[in-house]
């Protein structure tokens, strides 16, 4: 429900709420692809929809930051369409009935779509923000991650320009993913020294 839009950080949650209102099961993402395209264009940002439906939105660096390495925020727009057996819900037509339940955001008898709606919402918040000092930013919104990786598999070489890709499709707080778009889990342990971040 709309109280989700009032959660903090509001800039992220309002975008997540908007995504819950757009039907977007895997392989049926036309509405959310169009929504993302319009989002980027309405911000006046370079917006590309590629041959399979991935959406790329580019935000120029803050003046004086143009020489910094560019960051790509990547998330996927599709969601798993699962519901309780007693729930009447058409994932191709009906919005997700999401609501706040204590400390949690949940959905009424269906999957929530936080995988990866929350990652997409975070990238959208950065694209929209006019109060951040930043390097060149790209947002890569891929399609059909849940049932085939179609968007990622068909991304043409050279279409994204950034230097560092941050995949926003993570599940565990406090863990850093080097990459998660694949079928292999690798656990790596290493020693490191903590250093202060530059001012």
- CA dihedral (124, 126, 130, 136) positive or negative: negative
Nearest to 48 by CA among 134, 144, 155: 155
Alpha helical stretches, state H, the chain:
10-20, 30-42, 114-128, 150-153
144 close to 151: Cβ distance less than 8 angstroms:
yes
How high is the pLDDT of residue 170?
73
Surface-to-core class of residue 29, CB atoms within 10 Å of its CB (0-12 exposed, 13-18 middle, 19+ buried): buried
Tell me, yes or no, whether 32 lies in a domain.
yes
How high is the pLDDT of residue 57?
98
Residue 98 burial (CB count, 10 A): 24
User: Which residue shows structure tokens 């969601």?
Assistant: 79
Angle at 10 between CA 8 and CA 12, to 5 degrees: 100
How high is the pLDDT of residue 1?
46
pLDDT averaged over 10-residue windows placed end to end, the chain, 199 residues: 84 96 97 98 98 98 97 96 96 96 94 95 97 97 94 95 90 64 71 89
Tell me, yes or no, whether 124 lies in a domain.
yes
User: Which of 115, 138, 144, 145 is the catalytic position?
Assistant: 145
How high is the pLDDT of residue 175?
67
20 close to 112: Cβ distance less than 8 angstroms:
yes
171 in catalytic set? no
The CATH number of whichever domain residue 31 belongs to comes to: 3.40.630.10
Tell me, yes or no, whether 24 lies in a domain.
yes
Tell me, yes or no, whether 175 lies in a domain.
no
Tell me, yes or no, whether 178 lies in a domain.
no
User: Structural domain tally of the chain?
Assistant: 1
Q: CA neighbours within 13 Å on the CB side: how many for 65?
A: 14
Tell me, yes or no, whether 187 lies in a domain.
no
62 close to 133: Cβ distance less than 8 angstroms:
yes
Tell me, yes or no, whether 188 lies in a domain.
no
User: Which of 3, 34, 78, 175 is the catalytic position?
Assistant: 78
How high is the pLDDT of residue 177?
61
29 in catalytic set? no
> What global pTM score does this model have?
0.86
Q: Give the domain extent around 85.
A: 2-167
How high is the pLDDT of residue 151?
95
Tell me, yes or no, whether 6 lies in a domain.
yes
Surface-to-core class of residue 92, CB atoms within 10 Å of its CB (0-12 exposed, 13-18 middle, 19+ buried): exposed
């Amino acid at each position: 429900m709309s109280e989700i839009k009032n959660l903090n950080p509001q800039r992220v949650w309002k975008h997540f709420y908007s995504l819950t209102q757009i039907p977007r099961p895997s392989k049926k993402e036309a509405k959310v692809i169009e929504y993302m395209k319009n989002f980027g264009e309405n911000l006046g940002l370079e917006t590309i929809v590629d041959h399979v439906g991935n959406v790329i939105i580019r935000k120029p660096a803050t003046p004086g930051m143009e020489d910094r390495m560019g960051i790509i925020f990547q998330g996927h727009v599709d969601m798993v369409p699962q519901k309780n057996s007693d729930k009447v819900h058409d994932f191709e037509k009906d919005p997700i009935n999401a609501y706040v339940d204590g400390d949690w955001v949940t959905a009424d008898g269906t999957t929530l779509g936080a995988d990866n709606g929350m990652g997409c919402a975070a990238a959208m918040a950065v694209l929209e923000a006019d109060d951040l000092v930043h390097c060149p930013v790209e947002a890569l919104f891929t399609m059909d991650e849940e049932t085939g990786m179609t968007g990622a598999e068909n991304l043409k070489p050279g279409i994204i320009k950034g230097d560092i890709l941050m995949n926003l499709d993570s599940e565990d707080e406090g863990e850093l993913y080097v990459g998660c778009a694949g079928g292999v889990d690798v656990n790596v342990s290493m020693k490191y020294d903590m250093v202060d971040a530059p001012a």
